[in-house]
Amino acid sequence: MKRIAGKRGIGAAPIILFLSIAILVVVVAVPVLLIIFNAFWVNGEFNVGDIAKILGEPDTYQALINSLIIASGTTVGSTVVGTFFAWLVTRTDLPHKRLMKGMFLVPFMLPSFIGALAWKMLLSPRAGFINRFFMLHFGFDGPLFNIYSYAGIVMVEIMYLFPFVFIQVCGALERMDPTLEESARISGAGLFTITRKITIPLVAPSILSGALLIMLYSMAHFGTVAMLGIENGIFNIPTLIYQRIHQSAGSFASIRTGTVLATILVVTAAFIIWLQGKILGGGRYQIIAGKSFRPMELKLRGLRFPLLILCVAYIGFTIVLPTAVIFLVGGLKTYGLAFTWENLSLDNYKFVLFDYQLTKDAIWNSVTLGLGAAVITMFAGVMISYVTVKMKVRGKGILEFLGMLPFSVPGSVIALGVILAWSGKYGVNLYNTVWIILVAYIARYMAFSLKANSAALEQVHDSLVEAARACGASMWQALRDIVLPLVRPGMLAAFFLIFLPSLRELTVSIMLYAPTTRTIGVAIYTLNEDGETVMSAAMAGIALILIITGQTLINRFTEKTGG
């Protein structure tokens, strides 16, 4: 209802629509459909019984249960931790609140599989530094804590996933109209009653939506379970898919198991996304309004410093300690030596950066793949978002549905789908090349690009374009002179949102790599698998430096543009 195709504009809309649909179909829909097709059709026949059989196998059944156990544990834990810290930094008089808030967001930057690698070094039952320290100095018979366990996996995942809840709840608490709480206070309620009866219920949708996000992520999460679970026979869905396909070099049976498990992931993810939309979409909780005063702060009194110490300890334990271990181990000549000056050097870092073909390739691959995926996805995303947000054309509904797909398809599913689609069965064989990884990255990160670009486009009010049309601009002129310059920040944001995570990508690349197409994530993982612990750590250290530098640059940039 907002736009009609003018005489000169005829043809433009259908072209854009067609291109958008084509991209999403090829990149996302076909792989997903192939997975579902392969799961349900055996030898050209619809076959459900077979699915029950596969799910009944002890290994697959156990993987399914494990995914659920780990995801539930992680979700509950992260929600509690995230909500508590969010409340602490927004509603109390904790000292250095702003700094603490910034620190709690750091885990967003740390790839969880690198965290897992660090915790493995710290808490593996026999060799872990902490466990050894306790056994040596306090006469413990066994390890203090075995990280190769459900508890270990859940603990590590909580450490690196809780910011999803933290950031959502912080946002909700900060935007909440303080008079909602003040009116409870004047009604006679004390601060604890208010927290219980007013504050928490009002931010419940944000808490829940953050929790669902974690659930979604953890169900399909590869890195941590692969690092910490496989040793002890703990598999979840993605790691089992990986293991089956990897071991059997892509046999039919393994692909079939993979597709069945992947289908389950897709269905679960779709359900979670739907649930989240329902919770947030109701709009019943309009809690932002009014002239704002500082919200009330709970006086912590005697608890002020103990709670500050708790926060600092948490940050030290989850961020500083693992990072330090990675860098230190990366400096060791051989894994197992003590951290003394004689044993530490920068040799490994030099080797990894300049001499070791495997890691040099990995860095080159990751950087080029990241750049390629980011640029392509950025442009595709802006075009698709333009259709869904701004255009009024027939057939838009299909695109809106397709546009939802990238949000609900986990990485390991994409990888499997891409294998099915691009292994030569349909005329194009990209298997064992970097191109297959590129295609998978585009599918995986399309959601980020769509989100950033639609947000930017929604800021461009229709009347801005209409004003240009009324001034005599054709549709193309209005797009060029008004829309594109205005969504440029959104496109840049999309670029960085894709480039940075792709530097540390593991879930997809691990399924698709060939000897010369390792990425940084794959290199760290395989080096560690092969017992090259110090090289793996050095590589991880370099990855961390790359990521942190990149993030800092973005923060600078977004501060400057005010976004």
Interface ranges with another protein (CB under 8 A):
1-4, 6-9, 177, 179-180, 182-190, 193, 197-198, 201-202, 204, 284-287, 289-291, 293, 296, 461, 463-464, 466-475, 477, 481-482, 485-486
Q: Are 150 and 73 in contact (CB under 8 A)?
A: yes
Q: Which residue, 6 or 14, has its beta carbon nearer to another protein?
A: 6
Residue by residue, DSSP assigns 378-433 as: HHHHHHHHHHHHH---TTHHHHHHHHHHHHH--HHHHHHHHHHHHBSTTS-B-TTS
H/E stretch holding 46 reads: strand 45-46
Q: Are 325 and 122 in contact (CB under 8 A)?
A: yes
Q: Which residue, 3 or 256, has its beta carbon nearer to another protein?
A: 3
Residue by residue, DSSP assigns 147-214 as: SSSHHHHHHHHHHHHTHHHHHHHHHHHHHS-HHHHHHHHHTT--HHHHIIIIIHHHHHHHHHHHHHHH
Closest distance of CB 407 from another protein, Å: 27
Closest distance of CB 386 from another protein, Å: 17
Give ∠ CA 298-301-305 in degrees, rounded to 5.
Answer: 105
Q: Which residue, 2 or 126, has its beta carbon nearer to another protein?
A: 2
Query: How many whole angstroms separate alpha carbon 348 and alpha carbon 362?
Result: 16
Closest distance of CB 189 from another protein, Å: 5
Closest distance of CB 206 from another protein, Å: 13
What is the number of other CB atoms lying within 10 angstroms of the CB of residue 479? Answer: 18
Q: Which residue, 68 or 486, has its beta carbon nearer to another protein?
A: 486
What's the half-sphere exposure (Cβ side, CA atoms, 13 Å) at 147? 25
Q: For residue 110, give both structure tokens.
A: 């740390």
Closest distance of CB 209 from another protein, Å: 16
Cross-strand bridge partners of residue 45? 42
Q: Which residue, 68 or 279, has its beta carbon nearer to another protein?
A: 279
Give ∠ CA 63-66-69 in degrees, rounded to 5.
Answer: 155
Query: How many whole angstroms separate alpha carbon 68 and alpha carbon 237?
Result: 9
Q: For residue 314, give both structure tokens.
A: 């948490």
Q: Which residue, 6 or 233, has its beta carbon nearer to another protein?
A: 6
Cross-strand bridge partners of residue 42? 45
Closest distance of CB 184 from another protein, Å: 7
Q: Which residue, 9 or 250, has its beta carbon nearer to another protein?
A: 9
Closest distance of CB 465 from another protein, Å: 9
Query: How many whole angstroms separate alpha carbon 420 and alpha carbon 431?
Result: 10
Q: Which residue, 50 or 182, has its beta carbon nearer to another protein?
A: 182
Q: Are 418 and 436 in contact (CB under 8 A)?
A: yes
Closest distance of CB 486 from another protein, Å: 6
Q: Which residue, 288 or 324, has its beta carbon nearer to another protein?
A: 288
Closest distance of CB 284 from another protein, Å: 5
Q: Which residue, 313 or 467, has its beta carbon nearer to another protein?
A: 467
Closest distance of CB 478 from another protein, Å: 8
Tell me if residue 139 falls in helix, strand or coil: coil
Residue from 537, 442, 545, 559 nearest 499 by CA = 442
Q: For residue 210, give both structure tokens.
A: 């953050």
